[in-house]
Chain A
Amino acid sequence: MSDPRIQRLADVVVNYSTELGEGDLVLIQGPELAEPLIVEIARAALAAGAIPHVRASIQGVDEAYLAAAGDAQLDHLPAYALEEMDAIDARISIHAAWNTRELSGIEPAKLARRSRAAQPVMGRFMERSAAGDLRWCVTAYPCDAFAQDADMSLDAYTDFIYRAGWLHLDDPAAAWRTYAGRLRGLADRISEVRTLRVVAEDTDLSVAVAGRTWIASRGERNFPDGEIFTGPLETGTSGDVRFSFPAVMGGREVQDVRLRFQGGRVVKSEAAVGGAYLDQMLAMDPGATVLGEFAIGTNYEVTQFTKQILFDEKIGGTCHMALGAGYPDTGSVNRSGLHWDMVCDLRSGGEIHADGEVIYRDGAFLPSFFADDLAVPVA
């Protein structure tokens, strides 16, 4: 018998996250090793009246392509890529891997070049998403590669993933609906703030957010979920930040990243390991040195760092920020081929100040600012 949590996950992403309905064309993408979940999502989509279109990826193909591709190929954006982006009503992406270091032998400049070429597609994706024309969700499927990065067995990691989505509950969607209401309350409350200041070890960073929209990320676009985020004012970030967790991207790990911002831009970057890669990514395009996102993780079922951003950025008691492209629906106007999330742990002594007043300490909002419970709602 298959793990019933796979069906619950499929049900939640189809009927809660993306709310697929009659005639919706949904692109389901993920590595072929996630086949059990791909099949269940396709089934749930059919039951909802939608038309599933599966785009699976195959181990080793991306590496073979990137290793052999020249500049002309990396720069080539097929016309159909935009057409496809226009055609779909929804997209469900499944994160999983055979090997998270699959691309470690590929020159980072090649990856950056391909991302740059794909920028119009990412732009169109974000526009359609902001206009409400495209619903999407990113989820994950348990695999050995992710488990290994998290220092866990596959069984332990499987439990971790499903617990993070509250799939151990009989009716996870109901719990997410209740939680969504509370999280919206938090987003409304924080919308009154003009400037946030994050204070932690080696960190004192001011982020201007006045007039920007805060979004309660409640299991629609990411699953599991649990964060509130916005797009900071592009010229309003200043000060220093040190990311307690390694920053992971494209199969590479950059450790102990420290950034200094002035007038919204990174003016100094340092890392204990992987500094050259960090600098290459920051040099990708002008938008890559500007924050596209600032967010606070609010899923208190996710407690440990596992080197998968989908989970790490949700850890209750952390904040994160992304260099590069911002989400237009937050009001961000930053454009880039990059979107690199980096996480800062605030659970031991971290503070967030709002326009001069402390609102958050040691990984939780102070009741004076937000009194509602952000733990998993149980019926």
Chain B
Amino acid sequence: MRDPRLTTLADLLCRYSLEVGEGDTVLIDGPPLAQPLFVELVRKVTELGAHPMVRPRLERVQAAFLAEAGHEQLRAVTRLDQIEVEAPTRALSIWGQRNNRFASGIDPNRQAIRSAATRPLFERFFEREAQGDVRWCGTAFPCDAAAQDAGMSLTEWEDFVYSAGHLLDPNPIAFWETQSARQAEIAERLQQVRELRILGEDTDLTIDVSGRLWMNADGHQNFPDGEVFTSPVEVATRGHIAFSLDAPYHGNDVTGVRLWFEDGKVVREEATKGERYLSQMLDMDEGARYLGEVAFGMNDEIQSGTRDTLFDEKIGGTCHVALGMAFPEAGGRNLSGLHWDMVCDLRSGGEVYGDGAVIYRDGRFL
């Protein structure tokens, strides 16, 4: 029998997150292991009168490509890649992997070359998004690889993932509408702030957010969701920050990251694990050493780190920043092939100041 939570998830993604309508072209990409969700989504999209554009990704092919492509091949962007950026009016990415370390044997330099080559694709997609030509949402499909990294069985992980999305609520869409209103209030208050100062263990970071827009992440672009975010003024970040949660990126284990900023730029980086990889990624391009995002997690169903950014960055009582690509819709201008989120727990003694006044303490807005 089908898991009824998947039917609910597909319904919510189509009707709430993406608001799929008649005539939409809906790109659905993800790993084949998400087969049950692919099927539910295609059914729902089609029932709504739209046209599914299904593009499964095979991680072993991706790994073979990254490992074996020659220099020109690694840089190649084809018309087929461009069509996936230009054709959809709605796009849904399903996240899940058979093995979260599938790319661990790949030389990070090669990965960086590939990311740089595909950057124009992302930029074009973001541009279409900003113009309202396409809407995008990313969602997690519970898989063993993520469960294993989170230290859970698949059954426990499924329960966790679906609870984080409130899919067992009698009316999940109503929950997300309420959550959205709550977050909108916070975003409105943050909109009055010019400068944020984050204080925590080994952390004293000042971020200029004046003139930038705070966005309400309420299940439209990520699912599960629950955060408010903006893109900081590029050249103003200063101080240092220590990330208490693991910061995995593209299947690479990176933990205990500490960053030092001057005039917006990371001038020193450390990690207890994966430091070399961290430095290589930060040297990927000009924008990789600047912040593209600062955000507060507001999903109270998520309590502890899972080593999966989608969930960790939403933990109620945390903040996170991302190195690299900024959000143009928030006023961000930083461009990069990188967008690497790193999460800082503020629930025990963390404080945030807004223009000199305490506005947040121990994981809660005051």
Contact = CB atoms under 8 A, between A and B. Distances in A.
Nearest to B54: A61
B61 A39 contact: yes
B68 A43 contact: yes
B193 interface: no
B143 to A, nearest CB: 15
Interface stretch (A70-78, A228-236, A348-356): A70-78
B327 to A, nearest CB: 27
Given A39-B58, A67-B43, A25 B78 contact: yes
Contacts, number: 104
Interface in B65-111: 65, 68-70, 72-73, 76, 78-81, 83, 86-87
B64 A46 contact: yes
A49 B70 contact: yes
B47 interface: yes
B60 interface: yes
A42 B61 contact: yes
A58 interface: yes
B25 interface: yes
Contact of A51 (B39, B58, B64, B73): B73
Contacts of B42: 61, 64-65, 68
B118 interface: no
A79 B88 CA distance: 11
Contacts of B6: none
Nearest to A27: B80
B114 interface: no
A70 B49 contact: yes
Given A27-B80, A55-B55, A67-B43, A73 B49 contact: yes
B239 interface: no
A369 B163 CA distance: 75
Interface residues of B, number: 35
Interface stretch (A83-91, A207-215, A251-259): A83-91
B53 interface: yes
Contact of B79 (A35, A39, A87): A87
Contacts of A56: 32, 56, 58
A61 B39 contact: yes
Contacts of B83: 80, 83-84, 87
Nearest to B69: A46
B83 to A, nearest CB: 5
A32 B61 contact: no
A59 interface: yes
A117 to B, nearest CB: 11
Interface in A151-206: none
Contacts of A64: 39-40, 42-43, 46
A78 B61 contact: no
A60 B39 CA distance: 6
Contact of B35 (A25, A59, A79, A87): A59
Contacts of A38: 58, 61
Nearest to B60: A39
A128 to B, nearest CB: 14
Interface in A12-57: 23, 25, 27, 32, 35, 38-39, 42-43, 46-47, 49-57
B316 to A, nearest CB: 35
Interface of B: 25, 32, 35, 38-40, 42-43, 46-47, 49, 51-56, 58, 60-61, 64-65, 68-70, 72-73, 76, 78-81, 83, 86-87
16 contacts: A43-B64, A50-B73, A52-B65, A53-B78, A54-B58, A55-B55, A57-B54, A58-B38, A60-B38, A61-B38, A61-B39, A61-B52, A61-B54, A73-B49, A79-B87, A83-B83
